[in-house]
Amino acid sequence: MSAVPMETANYPVAVSQSLDKENVPVMKHSSNAMDICTKSRQDTGRSISAKGGAQRIPLRAGSNNILADVGKPTGSAQESSAALREAVPKPVAVATCQTAPMDCDGKEPSTARAPVPDAQTTGNRHTTSSSGGGGGENARTSKKWSLPDFDIGKPLGRGKFGNVYLAREKSSKYIVALKVLFKNQLQQSNVEHQLRREIEIQSHLRHPNILRLYGYFYDQNRVYLILEYAARGELYKELQKCKRFSERRAATYISSLAGALQYCHKKHVIHRDIKPENLLLGMKGELKIADFGWSVHAPHSRRQTLCGTLDYLPPEMVEGRDHDASVDVWSLGVLCYEFLFGNPPFEAEGHSETYKRILRVDLTFPKAIPVSDDAKDIITQLLKKDPRQRMPLDQVLKHSWIVKYADLTGVPSE
pLDDT tens string for the chain (414 positions)?
A: 334 333 333 333 333 332 233 333 332 223 232 222 334 444 444 443 333 333 333 323 333 322 333 333 334 444 444 444 444 333 333 333 333 332 333 333 322 223 333 322 223 333 333 333 444 444 444 678 999 999 999 999 887 888 999 999 999 999 999 999 999 999 999 989 889 999 999 999 999 999 999 999 999 999 999 999 999 999 999 999 999 999 999 999 999 999 999 999 999 999 989 999 999 999 999 999 998 888 887 655 443 444 447 899 999 988 888 888 899 999 999 999 999 999 999 999 888 999 999 999 999 999 999 999 999 999 999 999 999 999 999 999 999 999 999 999 999 986
pLDDT at 292: 87
Is residue 182 within 8 A of residue 219, CB to CB? The reply is no
25 inside domain? yes
Give the residue numbers spanning the domain of 238: 234-405
Q: What is the pLDDT of residue 142?
A: 64
pLDDT (0 to 100) of residue 23: 35
Q: Is 198 annotated as a binding residue?
A: no
- The letter for the amino acid at 222 is R
Q: Which of 179, 200, 227 is the last residue of a domain?
A: 227
User: Is there a single domain that holds both residue 195 and residue 60?
Assistant: yes
Q: Please indicate if the annotation marks 230 as binding a ligand.
A: yes
CATH code, domain with 78: 3.30.200.20
Q: Do residues 300 and 284 both lie within one domain? A: yes
Length of the chain, in residues: 414
DSSP state, residue 82: H
Residue 413 belongs to some domain of the structure: no
Is there a domain that residue 1 lies in?
A: no
Q: Is residue 248 part of a domain?
A: yes
| pLDDT for the residue numbered 37 | 31
* 236-239 own/partner pairs: CB under 8 Å, 24+ apart: 236/58, 236/275, 236/276, 236/277, 236/279, 237/58, 237/59, 238/281, 239/276, 239/338, 239/339, 239/342
Spatial separation of the C-alpha atoms in residues 96 and 16, rounded to whole Å: 10
Task: In whole angstroms, give the CA distance from residue 227 to residue 38.
Answer: 28
Q: Is the same domain home to 361 and 247?
A: yes
The span from the CA of 71 to the CA of 163, in Å, is 19
Any known ligand binding at 228?
yes
Looking at the structure, do residues 220 and 267 belong to the same domain, yes or no? no
Per-residue confidence (pLDDT) for residue 227, from 0 to 100:
97
- How would DSSP label each residue in 246-286? -HHHHHHHHHHHHHHHHHHHHTTEE----SGGGEEE-TTS-
218 is annotated as contributing to ligand binding: no
Looking at the structure, do residues 45 and 187 belong to the same domain, yes or no?
yes
| 412 domain-assigned | no
Q: Are residues 218 and 98 in the same domain?
A: yes
247 and 217 both lie in a single domain: no
Does the annotation place 338 within a ligand binding site? no
Q: What is the dihedral of CA 229, 232, 237, 238, to 10 degrees?
A: -150
Any idea what the CATH number is for the domain that residue 262 is in? 1.10.510.10
Torsion angles phi and psi, residue 402, rounded to 5: -65, -45
Residue 410 resides in a domain: no
Q: Does 373 show up as a binding residue in the annotation?
A: no
Say which of 149, 273, 311, 328 is annotated catalytic.
273
Query: Do residue 169 and residue 239 come from a single domain?
Result: no
**Is the residue at 414 inside a domain?**
no
Output the pLDDT for position 299: 57
pLDDT (tens digit, 9 = 90+) per residue, 45-104?
444 333 333 333 332 333 332 233 333 333 444 444 444 444 433 333 333 333 333 233
Q: How far apart are CA 253 and CA 411, in angstroms?
A: 8
Alpha carbon distances (Å) from 142 to 117, 127, 408: 10, 11, 37
Condensed to tens digits (0 to 9), the pLDDT of residues 381-413 reads 999 999 999 999 999 999 999 999 999 999 998
For the chain, the domain total comes to 2
54 marked among binding-site residues: no
Cα angle for residues 183, 178, 82 (degrees, 5° grid): 85
Burial group, residue 69, by CB count within 10 angstroms (0-12, 13-18, 19+)? middle
User: Does 385 belong to an annotated binding site?
Assistant: no
Among residues 188, 204, 227, which one ends one of the domains?
227
Q: How many Cβ atoms are within 10 Å of 359's Cβ, its own excluded?
A: 13
- DSSP conformation class of 323: B
Among 227, 254, 270, give the residue marking a domain's end: 227
User: Has residue 154 been placed in a domain?
Assistant: yes
Looking at the structure, tell me whether residues 349 and 270 fall in a common domain: yes
Structural contact between residues 399 and 240, judged by C-beta atoms closer than 8 angstroms: no
Note whether 273 and 335 are same-domain residues.
yes
- Alpha carbon distance 221, 52 (integer Å): 19
**What pLDDT is attached to residue 414?**
67
Task: Please indicate whether residue 273 is annotated as part of the active site.
Answer: yes
Q: Let me know whether 35 and 121 are in one domain.
A: yes
- Position 42 scores a pLDDT of 40
Looking at the structure, tell me whether residues 248 and 156 fall in a common domain: no
